[in-house]
Every structure is written in structure tokens, then in C-alpha cells.
Structure 1
């Protein structure tokens, strides 16, 4: 753990400077910052996540998860109406989302489901499909929607703190708080479990009364934080 309390200016520059020796397409520049090295390429990123760029990069807002991540979300009334943007051109693009940790995944003809709010960036070669959790309870929990990302290419997701991966088996289902659930394997399809007793309305009333239940064989990624989403006005 870094216990240094003060820096000289040269020390700050040395520690905080980008690593110019790495030039992967998606690169973890800092634990909470993604560097995207664009070479006449296009990506989709969470709107508002751009913190800096160098070069010739154009941006285009796309509204609430429209087109590139499914027109269905234009009609969504959820609090997770994540707004997106396209970034296209040549240069270095730096992305971050409220100090959350960034995880880069390189899919190799694979698929993964991600909570829509936790998608930071995807390259244009990744196919995507969005589905709302078809449950009244799901809407009560914030209208959770899942993004299926498939194919070969880079994606970047975010988590509050270091996530925990839980194994799911036929004999051992896993139950998670919807607001702490980040991602899960392609062969799992979660259900919403309700426990709406009188006591469930006391306290936070999130994961205590509504849970996502995972059956089958696979894994679930959870974060040590309940990220409650609030409805956004279009």
C-alpha cells in the first residue's frame, strides 16, 4: 500500500505519467482509467466517460442505448438508461467512470452478459443484444437490463472496488443483489426472486427483498457495492 504523503513535482510527474511503451488497442493506463489506442477505428463508449484525448477523434452522442446497443432501450423506462457515444479517428482516448475499477476483457469467439450500467467501452467488432429482465420485480429493482456481448474483440467493464467471481453449479445456485451484480457467463439466464414480506420493506430493501438467482453451470461477477440507479429523464 502506498503510504507516501507528499511528492516533489518531478515524482508526481513520473508516477502519474502515461506508459508510452504500451500501445494495445484497449489498455489499462491506471486502475480506474482505460486508454484506447485508435488507428482510424471506431468504438462505442459510455457517454460522459471521456476524460482526455490526444489526436484527431470525433464523438457522436447516441442517446439512451440506441442503435448500436439495441433500439429496445429507447423505450426503456429504467433507471439504467445509460447514454452512449461513438468515438472514431486516430489517437489516444482516455475513459473513466466515477473512479470505478476498469477490467479489460478480450473475447475470442465468446459471449458474456454484463449489467448495462457497467459497460464502459466495446470495439466495433463486438456484436451486442440487449434484453430487459422480464419481471415486475426486475422493474422494481431499477429495470435491470443485460447486454450480451459476443464475438472476438475488446470490451471494458467497470466495478466499484475489486469484484468477486462466484461459481455456479447444478447443485449450488447463486443468489445476488441486482445492484451488486456486474456480469455473468453466457450459458446462465438469471431469474428474479422476490421475498416481499413486511420485514423486507425495512432498511435498504434492495438485495434483501429482490435477488437474482442463477442456476446451471457458469459464474457470476459481483462487486462489493450496491450501485442503485435512479431514473433519468430523456
Structure 2
């Protein structure tokens, strides 16, 4: 354990401006947003701010009836807050590691539980895994982002990106799956032989299968979308 005098502690942990633009990693688990206009962030992610910033929960009709119904189905995990104004906004999510990605016209899927913040220039939509919605309580949902702008995602510990190719599909535990490229369409497969091998939270044998050309991001942790009781 590091031991500091009070002055040393303040110096060691003091906020620093790094000049990295809108999104700046103050620490690996704390995102500083240098706000000059507007940003979308996960509801409840704000831990501190400086300046003149106003916060509002996502309006239930703000993005149309389609998204309203999807949000009602997917639950609070997809709820967003809108921060508007000028100042410094600090956001985090349960101490998870933060990665910043700049999209340049691509599409990108993020698990609803792992989206931290994104620029309003990006188009977004909630996507539900309908095939399993009736099988598992609440189903599984993710956010599709597309366009030009930055997005911050979170993962428990260090994320790992796996390449998907036409002759090499990738199988993942749904609870450990963080994100994937926009051209991939995952499907759910069941293999009872995996029952005693896969993680405790994956509904025993249910796995996600990714085929095509792209990538999938996983984390060494199970979020707990599914349980053995599902």
C-alpha cells in the first residue's frame, strides 16, 4: 500500500489536463469529457462535474415510438442521460476499464451494459436478440452505433479482440461478450456438451456464434445477463 503525506496524496491523484480533446482518460477507469455542447452517457454514470452542465434523462418519446418500446423491453440497462453545456464531466461505471473508440463511418455493436458515453453525431439504435427473448428473462440487447464520432465502452479488466473470418467463426459466452463489428450478425447456439465447461452465468450451454468478416470483443468476466435459473 502506498503511503502519502496529505500533500503527496493530492499531488499524486490531482486531475490533469492532457489536451486529448472531448474524451480524455483521466485514469484507466475514469473518463473526463471536456463538454462544449452535448453528450450522451449511461444513466447514473456521472460521478462529478465542473462548469455549467445540465442533465436530463432520455425523453421517452425523444427518439420515436420504436425506441420507446425497445427500451421498455430491454430495461434500465439501456437508459441514457443527456448532458448539455460547458465544463468537465467525469463518468465511470463500477470501476470497469474504459476504452475510447473513434468511428469513421463504421458501424459498431456494444452490449447494452458496456456502453458508457458517445457523441450525439453518431446514429444509434437498440437491437434485441428476439430469438432468445422468449427463452430467457429479459433477453439480451445491444446498441448499434454508426457514423463519425467517439464512443467510450467499458469492460471488466482487459478486453480481448478476436478476429472473425469466413472459415473461422468465433464462439463466445454471452455474459462475457462486450462488442462486435457492425457487419457481423451473431446467432445463438446450444451445445449440451458444454454444460460443465462454460461459465456459471451463461445458461449452461447457450453460446453466441459470430461468422463472416469482422471482430468480437470479450472480457474475462461474466456480466450476468443469463443465469442457470433462466
User: TM-score scaled to structure 2, two decimals?
Assistant: 0.88
Quote how far apart the aligned CAs of 1:11 are.
2.1
Q: Following TM superposition, where does structure 1 have runs of at least 4 consecutive aligned residues deviating by more than 6 angstroms?
A: 63-66
Structure 2 partner of 1:177? 173
- Higher mean alpha-carbon deviation, 119-128 vs 190-199, is at 190-199
Q: 1:182 and 1:65 mapped to 2: Cα distance?
A: 28
Q: Where do 5+ consecutive residues of structure 2 fail to align?
A: none
The total of aligned residue pairs comes to 225
Residue 101 of structure 1 contacts residue 160 of structure 1 at CA under 8 Å; is this kept in 2? yes
Tell me whether 1:70 sits opposite 2:67 in the alignment: yes
**Which residue in 1 is equivalent to 2:32?**
35
Which one of the candidate residues 45, 54, 63 is aligned to 2:41?
45
| Residues 1:123 and 2:137 aligned together | no
Q: 1:65 to 1:183 in 2, by over 3 A?
A: farther
- Deviations along 1:41-73, one digit per CA (max 9) or x if unpaired, are 111111111000000000001278973893242
Cα deviations by residue, 1:1-36 (Å, 9 ceiling, x for unpaired): xxx531222221122111124251011111000110
Query: Partners of 2:134 and 2:68 in 1: how far apart?
Result: 20
Structure 1 spans left out of the alignment, 5+ residues: none
Give the superposed CA RMSD: 2.8
What does residue range 23-172 of structure 1 map to in structure 2 within 5 Å? Answer: 23-39=20-36, 41-62=37-58, 67=63, 70-76=67-73, 78=74, 81-136=77-132, 139-140=135-136, 142-172=138-168
* TM-score, L = length of structure 1: 0.86
